[in-house]
């Protein structure tokens, strides 16, 4: 039996920069920590397709806008602090960036796709003189499951011992979530204690800092700042929906640009965390007299619903989890904040899924800010519609009579119906990146094996 505290500890954590390159860096940093020498001969990486898809084109934190799986791996080896988990790249600066680029330019980093692998999988092998070190991450982005030095497994290493029971048993938690009803999930938030409230508020503060940075500087694609400018020019009117869109997209702009500021993630994704938290916080400005604890309960509910859907869809998939999973979480949390009952919350989730279920994930990149903007605004709209009696009926498409079955249907769509879509998305991305050039990744060969 899991409690709200257990779920928050497992599903919600700080992450510096995009989670996938951070996870790659964590894997090489963990392996590199076993090496006595630092005269690197090679880094070899094996990645599951979705880690590859999400790590290949997004800015690395502290790397001045630079991107690339090989560069993330080299930075992890050179300066990464594996004890910081998904904040492993906090030490990155210009000097380390230059050194890492030298390793990449010298062709010392090799990346291979493991096409038949399901779920998160990262394996790194580092060679230095007579030393060889390996590390493996599985299931969740910071779950180190194996360390090996010169062919011998390293037991009782602090990096392995620090893995919490909850992260080791993530499959058990997900199985637990899948068994719960929406009513049972909702009841969990009523058991929150002061420690839980403080932790949820910490997530708000992390993500608000990112939003303020993105709004001030127009980082990344500049979606949030552009929306705000359109308001100032009188071309848009700032209301509840637009406020949510500006806040979420501004934070994503900053995060996807590689700013060295952590996000509070949800269900293994920083962008999920931005979507799950910030639209609810934006709505609170339009609700007079609401107790802050009610707002934080709504955000906690958002995290739970996000995790519930991700337990059905998988951590990474062909569907945009920011739009569908975290968007549904935000819709539920907003309904809760606005005084909605169980039926209103259920309706908001179904409304959101009906609206956004077809949004694909084509990797992490600056354009994600557009998707977060859409998800945030749609979450507000879905909640408001539900509170006014608009509730998509079970006769519509993948929508079921219950929110639970509707969310299970999204999981089926993701894990069964969109397998070929996921292959096609990644093949397009590979051909775009490597088209016309020889590379260790052959798009056609990959398509045949994936």
Q: Is the Cβ–Cβ distance between 55 and 21 less than 8 Å?
A: yes
pLDDT tens for each residue of the chain, 450 residues long: 889 999 998 889 888 888 899 999 999 999 999 999 778 999 999 999 999 999 998 999 888 889 999 999 999 999 999 999 888 999 999 899 999 999 999 999 999 999 778 789 999 999 999 999 999 999 888 889 999 999 999 988 888 865 544 455 677 888 999 999 999 999 999 999 999 999 999 999 999 999 999 999 999 999 999 999 999 999 999 999 999 999 999 999 999 999 989 999 999 899 999 999 999 999 999 999 999 999 999 999 999 999 999 999 987 888 999 999 999 999 999 999 999 999 999 999 999 999 999 999 999 999 999 999 999 999 999 999 999 999 999 999 999 999 999 999 999 999 888 888 988 999 999 898 776 454 444 444 444 433
Q: How far is CA 130 from CA 36, 74, 76, 450, in A?
A: 10, 19, 21, 34
Domain range summary for the chain, segments of one domain joined by +:
19-164, 180-417
Tokens linked to 435: 């088209």
Tokens linked to 342: 């169980």
CATH topology of domain 180-417: 2-methylcitrate dehydratase PrpD (1.10.4100)
Q: How far is CA 349 from CA 225, 308, 345, 374, in A?
A: 28, 12, 6, 15
CB atoms within 10 A of CB 359: 18
pLDDT of residue 1: 80
H or E element, residue 146 = strand 144-149
d(CA 324, CA 19): 18
Domain 19-164, CATH class in plain words: alpha beta
């Amino acid at each position: 039996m899991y409690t709200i505290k257990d779920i928050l500890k497992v599903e919600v954590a700080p992450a510096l920069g995009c989670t996938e390159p951070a996870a790659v860096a964590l894997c090489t940093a963990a392996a590199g920590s076993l090496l006595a020498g630092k005269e690197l001969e090679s880094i070899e990486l094996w990645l599951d397709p979705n880690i590859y898809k999400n790590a290949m084109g997004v800015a690395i934190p502290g790397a001045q806008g630079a991107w690339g799986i090989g560069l993330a791996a080299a930075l992890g080896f050179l300066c990464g602090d594996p004890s910081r988990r998904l904040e492993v790249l906090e030490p990155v600066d210009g000097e380390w960036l230059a050194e890492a680029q030298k390793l990449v330019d010298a062709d010392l980093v090799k990346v291979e796709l493991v096409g038949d692998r399901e779920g998160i999988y990262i394996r790194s092998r580092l060679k230095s003189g007579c030393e060889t070190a390996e590390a493996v991450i599985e299931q969740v982005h910071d779950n180190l499951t194996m360390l090996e030095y010169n062919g011998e497994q390293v037991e009782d290493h602090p990096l392995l011992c620090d893995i919490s029971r909850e992260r080791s048993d993530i499959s058990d938690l997900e199985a637990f979530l899948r068994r719960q009803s929406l009513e049972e999930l909702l009841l969990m938030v009523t058991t929150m204690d002061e420690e839980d409230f403080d932790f949820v508020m910490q997530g708000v503060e992390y993500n608000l800092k990112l939003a303020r940075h993105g709004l001030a500087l127009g980082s990344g694609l500049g979606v949030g700042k552009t929306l705000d400018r359109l308001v100032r020019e009188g071309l848009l009117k700032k209301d509840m929906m637009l406020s949510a869109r500006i806040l979420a997209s501004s934070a994503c702009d900053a995060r996807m640009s590689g700013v060295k500021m952590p996000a509070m993630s949800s269900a293994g994704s920083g962008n999920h965390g931005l979507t799950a938290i910030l639209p609810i916080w934006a709505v609170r400005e339009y609700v007079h007299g609401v107790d802050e604890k009610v707002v934080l309960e709504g955000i906690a509910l958002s995290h739970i619903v996000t995790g519930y859907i991700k337990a059905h869809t998988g951590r990474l998939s062909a569907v945009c989890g920011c739009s569908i999973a975290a968007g549904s979480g935000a819709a539920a949390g907003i309904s809760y904040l606005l005084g909605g009952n169980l039926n209103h919350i259920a309706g908001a989730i179904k409304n959101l899924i009906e609206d956004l279920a077809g949004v694909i994930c084509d990797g992490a990149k600056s354009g994600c800010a557009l998707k977060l903007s859409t998800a945030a605004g749609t979450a507000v709209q879905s909640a408001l519609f539900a509170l006014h009696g608009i509730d998509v009926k079970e006769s519509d498409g993948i929508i079921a009579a219950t929110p639970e079955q509707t969310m299970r249907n999204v999981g089926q769509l993701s894990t069964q119906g969109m397998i070929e879509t996921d292959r096609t998305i990644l093949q397009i991305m590979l051909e775009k990146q490597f088209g016309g050039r020889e590379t260790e990744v052959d798009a056609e060969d990959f398509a045949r094996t994936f």
